[in-house]
């Protein structure tokens, strides 16, 4: 089975600057770490890197850092960080990104932004510039922000958009599941009426704090399939954000205090859960796991990168698992 992971993060606190990483996430997650987190069902595995919210000044440096290790990490496309509400500064940044051949789209992370920003005049102008470059836009929002994204979709119908993490609905936990709300289903349906908007089956394990079950999350997958149709759904792991939570059963590295930790098999388990759901429903698994992401991001052939990476001291999550705590 071939798998094109539509939502993979990589980061290096020793190379780039982040303000939000803490706990087990504050370690290195790069080519070596993703090599040790394979999808068991995959015979071929590639991924699309999505910006990991460095500081704004590092947006372009992040793209170049990922491009340097793209072949090793299996990355075939990059969704770059960008602020779309900066006017001429937005234009200049997009022009800088255009020189990077792996860039297929951008993301202005909206989940922490005030309501209404996505439909402001400045943001809409920036979104139109993204569309003019034939790139896509990843919309990372909270459930309450879905109406803004629907309005943005109406304002810029030429922009291909994909909703990250199903709009981050409240899902509860495995032992205390929360059913999809009527408001979320309504807003998801309204957004899906725009044919140029797609949806990622990603991030739900993270919304559950890493404490999830397939049965708990399947109603959300069903709602997304009903709204968008299978032809506009794509699987994403949201690795490593969505693989932090309670220690997995039998984990020899489980913290003695029961604190959240890295879950080595969670990425593969989420793929297995979506595959099993799709097969039971009679959905096209290859479309969800590969073809739709390939089409949306317009992944094509590209030359291999031969630039050698500078060796730097690193603190990878594999060290965390060996007990090398800071």
Q: Indicate the pairing of strand 244-245 with strand 261-262.
A: antiparallel
| pLDDT at 323 > cutoff 80 | no
What pLDDT score was predicted for residue 303?
41
What gap in Å lies between CA 76 and CA 300, rounded to an integer? 8
Which residues lie closer than 8 Å to 122 by C-beta, 6 or more apart?
84, 85, 86, 87
What pLDDT score was predicted for residue 322?
58
Q: Which letter does DSSP use for residue 177 in this model? A: B
| Of residues 196, 133, 134, the one with CA closest to residue 162 | 196
Helical segments of the chain, H only = 31-35, 59-68, 70-73, 88-97, 121-132, 146-155, 182-192, 204-207, 214-228, 266-281, 285-286, 292-296, 317-321
What pLDDT score was predicted for residue 72?
97
- Mean pLDDT across 42-60: 98
Which residues lie closer than 8 Å to 176 by C-beta, 6 or more apart?
none
| Of residues 307, 323, 292, 22, the one with CA closest to residue 160 | 292
Confidence label for 23 from pLDDT (cuts 50, 70 and 90): very high
What pLDDT score was predicted for residue 302?
45
- Mean pLDDT across 81-100: 98
Give the predicted TM-score (pTM) of the model.
0.93
Confidence label for 316 from pLDDT (cuts 50, 70 and 90): confident
Structural domain spans, the chain: 2-321
| Of residues 48, 54, 34, the one with CA closest to residue 105 | 48
What gap in Å lies between CA 81 and CA 214, rounded to an integer? 31
Q: For all residues of the chain together, what is the average pLDDT?
A: 94
Of the candidate ranges 10-19, 291-300, 317-326, the one whose mean pLDDT is the lowest: 317-326
| pLDDT at 225 > cutoff 60 | yes
Residue 219, both tokens: 């109603």
Q: What dihedral do alpha carbons 29, 130, 64, 108 form, nearest 10°?
A: -40
We find that the CATH architecture of domain 2-321 is Alpha-Beta Barrel (3.20)
Of residues 234 and 310, more confidence is placed in 234
| pLDDT at 314 > cutoff 80 | no
Q: What are the pLDDT digits (tens) for 257-310?
A: 999 999 999 999 999 999 999 999 999 999 999 999 999 999 974 443 334 334
Q: Is 243 helix (H, G, I), strand (E, B) or coil?
A: helix
């Amino acid at each position: 089975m071939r798998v094109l992971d539509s939502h993979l993060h990589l980061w290096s606190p020793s190379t780039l600057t982040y303000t939000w990483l803490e706990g087990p996430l504050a370690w290195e997650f790069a080519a070596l770490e993703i090599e040790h987190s394979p999808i068991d069902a995959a015979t071929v595995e590639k991924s699309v890197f999505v910006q990991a919210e460095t500081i704004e000044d590092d947006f372009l440096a992040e793209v170049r850092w990922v491009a340097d290790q793209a072949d090793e990490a299996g990355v075939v496309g990059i969704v770059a960080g960008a602020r779309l509400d900066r006017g001429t500064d937005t234009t200049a940044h997009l022009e800088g990104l255009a020189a990077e051949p792996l860039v297929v789209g951008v993301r202005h992370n909206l989940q922490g932004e005030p309501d209404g920003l996505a439909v402001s005049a400045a943001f809409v102008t920036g979104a139109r510039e993204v569309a003019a470059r034939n790139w896509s836009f990843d919309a990372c929002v909270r459930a309450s922000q879905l109406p803004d994204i629907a309005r943005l979709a109406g304002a810029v119908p030429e922009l291909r958009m994909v909703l990250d993490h199903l709009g981050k609905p409240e899902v509860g936990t495995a032992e205390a599941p929360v059913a999809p709300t009527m408001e979320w289903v309504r807003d998801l349906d309204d957004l899906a009426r725009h044919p140029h908007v797609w949806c990622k089956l990603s991030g739900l394990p993270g919304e559950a704090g890493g404490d999830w079950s397939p049965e708990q999350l399947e109603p959300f997958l069903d709602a997304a399939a009903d709204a968008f149709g299978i032809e506009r759904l794509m699987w994403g792991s949201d690795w490593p954000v969505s693989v932090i939570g309670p220690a997995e059963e039998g984990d020899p590295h489980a913290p003695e205090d029961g604190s959240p930790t890295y879950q080595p098999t969670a990425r593969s388990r989420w793929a297995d859960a979506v595959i099993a759901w799709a097969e039971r429903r009679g959905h096209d698994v290859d479309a969800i796991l590969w073809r739709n992401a390939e089409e949306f991001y317009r992944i094509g052939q590209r030359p291999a990168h031969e630039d050698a990476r500078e060796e730097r001291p690193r603190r990878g999550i594999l060290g965390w698992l060996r007990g090398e705590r800071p």
